[in-house]
Structure 1
Amino acid sequence: MARLEPGLRCVEEFRVEEEHTASHVGSGTVRVLSTPAMIAFMEITALHCAQRYLGEGETTVGTMVCVRHLAPAPVGVVVRVEAVLEKVEGRRLLFRVRAWWGDTLLGEGEHERYIVNTERFLAKVEKMLREKQEKETKS
């Protein structure tokens, strides 16, 4: 299987639907692509990009997003999202992400993901939940 290496480039397309608008998600009052939805499109693209290079039982989790939203996009248009892997440092993956509507750059920035073992990651989350519940019951 090929390895995750800097320079890997993936592109996906998303149609802006009502549920992606700022007025729908509550991040604004207008019916245009919301910043949270644009970021989700970027994260999905990076996730899919990395996932095909991972082993059985592995996935990636998002740990950082630093994105500027530069222009609006209306409901119904197709947004093209690009994720380019810039750094691989052990389990840490750093992507340069960009989104376009036609030739208009909608947003750009960086997105960091970490490779995790899915089973161990979920076990850790369950342990944290139990510990917090026990702490709350003692309070």
Structure 2
Amino acid sequence: MDARDIITIGMSAERTLVVPPEQTVGHFVAGMPMVYATPMMILEMELASGDAIRGHLQPGWVTVGTEVDIRHLAATPVGATVRTTAKVIAVERRVIRFEVEAFDGERKIGDGRHARGLVNLASFNKRMGAK
């Protein structure tokens, strides 16, 4: 499958979550503040990117994260609502590139770029089973 045949620039998605204690730096590292952890923000950005294109993939195909270039700009406390957006900005044969952002209300807390690779799930699982 060639992503250029099915994915178009501008496809987008948005996710929201209320920051739980389990997604804070302090949950993972003792003594650190109980604020939204950078890896959790990146996860939401990856999930939003997948959401933006998932419905256009042929059966048996998925995308996997391959690149992240993210800035975490501001701390967000437990209980705050975070909105994460992803928009397709480039499409190659097997790679889809996204612009991603995260907001706490109107305040931008993160931004950057993310890429996802197009993968045939059966072939991928077969390769992984051989290892």
Name the TM-score, length of structure 1 as normaliser: 0.86
For residue 86 of structure 1, the aligned residue among 86, 89, 92 is: 89
**Offset of 1:27 from its aligned partner?**
9.2
By relative contact order (CA 8 Å, sep 6+), the higher-ranking structure is 2
Structure number having the greater helix percentage = 1
**Offset of 1:3 from its aligned partner?**
2.7
Q: Name the aligned partner's letter for residue 123 of structure 2.
A: R
Instruction: Tell me the percent identity.
Output: 35
**Offset of 1:108 from its aligned partner?**
0.3
Residue 9 of structure 1 aligns with which residue? 12
Structure 1 residues 74-119: Cα deviation after superposition (integer angstroms, max 9, x where no partner): 1111100010100000110000000000011000000000111111
Residue 135 of structure 1 aligns with which residue? none
Please report the RMSD computed on the Cα atoms of aligned residues, expressed in angstroms: 1.6
Stretches of structure 2 that go unaligned for 5 or more consecutive residues are: none
Change (3 A) 1:35 1:28: farther
Aligned length: 127
| Alignment partner of 1:50 is 2:53 | yes
Contact 1:13 1:78 in 2 (8 A): yes
Q: Distance in 1 between matches of 2:122 and 2:17?
A: 30
Stretches of structure 1 that go unaligned for 5 or more consecutive residues are: 130-139
| Alignment partner of 1:98 is 2:101 | yes
Q: Greater Rg, structure 1 or structure 2?
A: 1
Q: After TM superposition, which residue ranges in structure 1, 4 or more long, deviate above 6 angstroms?
A: none
Structure 1 residues 12-55: Cα deviation after superposition (integer angstroms, max 9, x where no partner): 11111111101112397110000000000101111111211101
Contact 1:28 1:34 in 2 (8 A): no
